[in-house]
């Protein structure tokens, strides 16, 4: 896949134990169209890696069953947004640029008590770090920066703390064997593997939409107002569903609607995610796509028609499921992705999955009608409607209501 501004990149490098088994990956920022040495804001880089991992790829696809080490600078460490990261999957790696102050130690202690693990990057033993050593889980010693003759004394000094010691930038077999003899617990470097760059089509959202969401969350707006922002945005809806899969513990629950997903995530976690997204905002990549508006109309049309469908109108969840199927059905066209792959990675009801992948079932019938209307500029296919059990009048009314909804301000919604 070629590097373009519409793609997102994440690099990962394995971390191994003494038996050379992979036990974690370090997640690294790679700017699109630039080399690994390109300079960028540290918090932007961290947020970019976190968002790409959580939303574009999914934690399991990047990390498998392992943990991910994520570089953290001071601004991001002190931000509430950091707590959107699942503590059971992410190790917070404090960069050497973080000055250790009482406030930093207290913040690390707070996060450690919540279950987060910490690594200290590019480190040399210093008694001034006593309090942080009590909190940290991993200490990383850089073989290129630390003279080899100093390392044994450092390891002995660190052994009185509950930490594992990682040899960083192991370049050769001889260095690996020397580190084994010195007693290192973990290893990372080019000898084992260079960082592998993962690349995927970016699910961008317009800055206007993100700012609207942040504004509503800051005002403690009603859930229905927040839901409306997502309902008008296929990309944002997809990110919400992907976030549920990455952040929440595995569950057998299927997500029935956008509102259901928002309730599962919770307002506080949603705020954290919105803050994280603001860290990673890149104005140069924002662009308007008219297909997004078409997706919102299609979803609303299917929602309205579901209430008139013979086998769907008696199911209280059918309208929400129809909307979800409609909003997700255009992701492949908007973002140039494999829709089957996207759908497979989300926790969706079987009826929605079947509709999106194979156009099967009642929802698949509604989707077929919606697609036909789009392709023929509103021309009605009587055979398809008859097969679905709806009349031309009902189709016209559902489409009229969909356009009426789209043209209304996002803050004005119908009452429950």
Mean pLDDT, the chain, rounded, equals 81
373 has a pLDDT exceeding 60: yes
The pLDDT confidence band at residue 207, using thresholds 50, 70 and 90, is: low
For residue 2, what pLDDT is reported? 39
Three-class SS of the chain: CCCCCCEEEEEEEEEEECCCCEEEEEEECCCCCCCCCCCCCHHHHHHHHHHHHHHHHCHHHHHCCCEEEEEECHHHHHCHHHHHCCCCCEEEEECCCCCCCHHHHHHHHHHHHCCCEEEECCCCCCHHHHHHHHHCCEEEEECCCCCHHHHHHHHHHHCCCCCEEEEECCCCHHHHHHHHHHCCCEEECCCCCCCEEEEEECCCCCHHHHHHHHHHHHCCCCHHHHHHHHHCCHHHHHHHHHHHHHHCCCCCCCCCCHHHHHHHHCHHHHHHHHHHHHHCCCHHHCCCCHHHHHHHHHHHHHHHHHCCCCCCCCCCCHHHHHHHHHHHCCHHHHHCCCHHHHHHCCCCCHHHHHHHHHCCHHHHHHHHHHHHHHHCCCCCCHHHHHHHCCCHHHHHHHHHHHHHHHHCCCCCCCCC
What top-level class would CATH report for the domain 207-407?
mainly alpha
Structural domain spans, the chain? 7-200, 207-407
The pLDDT confidence band at residue 103, using thresholds 50, 70 and 90, is: very high
- For the entire predicted model, the pTM comes to 0.65
The CATH number of domain 7-200 is 3.20.20.450: yes
334 has a pLDDT exceeding 60: yes
């Amino acid at each position: 896949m070629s590097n373009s501004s519409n793609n997102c990149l994440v690099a990962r490098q394995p971390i191994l134990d003494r038996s050379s088994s992979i036990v974690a990956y370090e997640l690294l920022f790679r700017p699109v169209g630039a080399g690994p040495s390109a300079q960028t804001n540290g918090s932007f880089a961290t947020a970019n890696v976190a968002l790409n991992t959580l939303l574009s790829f999914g934690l399991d696809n990047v990390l498998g069953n392992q943990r991910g080490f994520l570089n953290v600078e001071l601004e991001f460490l002190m931000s509430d947004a950091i707590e959107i990261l699942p503590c059971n999957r992410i190790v917070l790696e404090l960069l050497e640029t973080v000055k250790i102050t009482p406030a930093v130690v207290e913040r690390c202690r707070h996060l450690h008590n919540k279950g987060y693990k910490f690594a200290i990057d590019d480190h040399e033993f210093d008694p001034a770090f006593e309090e942080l050593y009590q909190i940290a889980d991993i200490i990383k010693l850089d073989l290129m920066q630390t003279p080899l003759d100093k390392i044994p004394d450092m390891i002995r000094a660190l052994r009185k703390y509950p930490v594992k010691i990682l040899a960083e930038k192991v370049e050769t077999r001889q260095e690996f064997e020397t580190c084994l003899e010195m007693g290192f617990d973990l290893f990372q470097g080019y000898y084992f593997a260079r960082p592998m760059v993962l690349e995927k089509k970016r699910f961008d959202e317009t800055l206007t939409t993100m700012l609207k969401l942040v504004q509503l969350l800051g005002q403690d707006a009603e859930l229905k107002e927040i839901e409306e922002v997502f309902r008008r945005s296929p990309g944002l809806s997809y990110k919400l569903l992907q976030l549920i899969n990455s952040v929440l513990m595995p569950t057998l629950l299927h997500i029935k609607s956008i509102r259901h997903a928002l309730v599962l995530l919770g307002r506080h976690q949603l705020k954290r995610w919105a803050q994280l997204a603001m860290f990673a905002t890149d104005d140069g990549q924002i662009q308007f796509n008219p297909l997004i508006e078409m997706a919102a109309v299609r979803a609303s049309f299917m929602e309205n028609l579901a209430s008139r469908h013979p086998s769907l109108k008696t199911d209280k969840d059918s309208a929400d499921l129809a909307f979800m199927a409609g909003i997700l059905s255009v992701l492949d066209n908007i973002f140039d992705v494999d829709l089957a792959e996207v759908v497979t990675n989300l926790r969706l009801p079987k009826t929605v999955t079947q509709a999106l992948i194979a156009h099967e079932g009642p929802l698949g019938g509604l989707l077929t009608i919606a697609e036909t209307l789009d392709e023929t500029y509103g021309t009605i296919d009587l055979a398809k409607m008859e097969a679905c059990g709806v009349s031309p009048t009902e189709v016209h009314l559902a489409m009229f209501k969909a356009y009426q909804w789209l043209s209304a301000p996002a803050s004005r919604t119908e009452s429950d």
